[in-house]
Amino acid sequence: MNTTMLPLNPIDWDSLDATGRAAVLRRPTAAVAVEVRTAVERVIAQVRADGDVALRALTRRFDGVELGAFAVGEDEFAAAERAVDDGLKRAMREARERIVAWHRAGMPREFEIETAPGVRCGRLLRPIARVGLYVPAGSAPLPSTALMLAVPAKLAGCRELVLCTPPRADGRADPAVLVAARLCGVDRVLKLGGAQAIAAMAYGTESVPRCDKLFGPGNAYVTAAKQLVAQDPDGAAIDMPAGPSEVLVIADAGADPDFVAADLLSQAEHGPDSQVILVSDSDQLLAAVLDALPRQLSTLPRADIARRALEHARLVKVARLEDAFALSNAYAPEHLILALREPRNWLDQVEAAGSVFLGDYAPEALGDYCSGTNHVLPTGGAARAYSGVSVASFQTAISVQEVGAEGLRAIGPCAATLARAEALAAHERAVTLRIGRIGGAA
């Protein structure tokens, strides 16, 4: 195989105007966004109207499976335990421990302070009661996603966890996904995939309980479904847009081109709508990566999928590394790899990214599985405003204030003055009436 089989040519960033640069950073899903949204709207309407009947029809249509019941029973859980080898179980337990440690260290905390004499303000944390977890299993099952979602949900204290994952051709859920779910204490698993699973968890059906908030990554259809139900007052909240995978690598002349090529392909093999971008100030590095890509691609079992994803890949030459970070911040990648000699020194330049990987020995794949950080991350540029899944994602923060007579005298006049400025007389009276009763001046 040679490089001519890959539609990749390095792009000179400095030669592009604003329109050209925007075109380089355009996601592949943008071209079909309207079509996807229309299809998903139909699926959601069908599930809302017909419940389980619609779910069976859609599962037959999209998964090629006829299901009598969606819930995974105890026999199927037991069969999954027998089917998964001990080595994989050990790896999942090992990964879970690191995921627990990282999420526990970053958990939010309750607090209370005195903001004025007699005025105490605090914050309470409460778990979201019922959460829906979506674990993809389309072209490849993702038991790691079950760990990434269930661990923080359990640490947050959520009472009910509903996990949906697509059925296999034999009508069963992927055994590794079931073992991962049980490892994290999730017993309610439903064999449902795609936009129909999101609709079912958002609105509820005869078999699927309505959830307060939905979590998890997915393809363009799943992501569109999550966004649509989040916009509906009768729908459900969501964690973030977490769609087709993407990685941006910033590499200098000292980077190992084989490592860089491997990192690009590790994301490209997720799906044909994944996107990978390499940015470098070194022509030699770009050329070496371009040479390494087809050699590595030829050895991959999912080469056809990765090759289709590479149609959306970009190799970009910049004059300075500072320009690479400006490009990255504009793109706001899900994953950002800094294949640099002093990567930590560049962290201050990172303004928008889901997760950052420092140096030559931090492949993005470690974050996917077992470094401890969460791999459910914002995509499609959402990293400008969203963060990856954490324990806080599964909680609400409730503010509390306790005010005594001394506190009312201290801060009541401030509130009354602001209320008058806003012409809200009832607000002002609610304060001054109390001040008058306890004796004081507003």
User: Is 134 assigned a ligand-binding role in the annotation?
Assistant: yes
CA distances to 157, 175, 396 from 154, in Å: 5, 21, 14
Mapping DSSP onto H, E and C, the string for 234-272 reads CCCEECCCCCCCEEEEEECCCCCHHHHHHHHHHHHCCCC
Active site residue 334: yes
375 is in an annotated binding site: no
- 427 carries a ligand binding annotation: yes
Contact 148/136 with Cβ under 8 angstroms? no
Which of 103, 246, 269, 335 is an active site residue?
Answer: 335
Q: Two tokens at 271?
A: 């799906």
368 is known to lie in a ligand binding site: yes
Nearest CA-CA partner of 408 in 441, 379, 383 = 441
- 248 burial (CB, 10 Å; 0-12 / 13-18 / 19+) is buried
Is 270 labelled as part of a ligand binding site? yes
Q: Is 245 annotated as a binding residue?
A: yes
Is 196 marked as binding a ligand? Answer: yes
155 and 104 in contact (C-beta within 8 Å)?
yes
Instruction: Let me know if 375 is a catalytic residue.
Output: no
Look up residue 47 and give its two tokens: 């599930």
Q: Among 246, 269, 312, 334, which one carries the catalytic annotation?
A: 334
103 annotated as belonging to a binding site for a ligand: no
**3-state secondary structure (DSSP) of residue 136:** coil
**Rg of the chain's alpha carbons, rounded to an integer?**
25
> What residues act catalytically?
334-335
Provide the annotated binding site for substrate: 245, 267, 270, 335, 368, 422, 427
Provide the annotated binding site: 134, 196, 219, 245, 267, 270, 335, 368, 422, 427
Provide the annotated binding site for NAD(+): 134, 196, 219
Provide the annotated binding site for Zn(2+): 267, 270, 368, 427
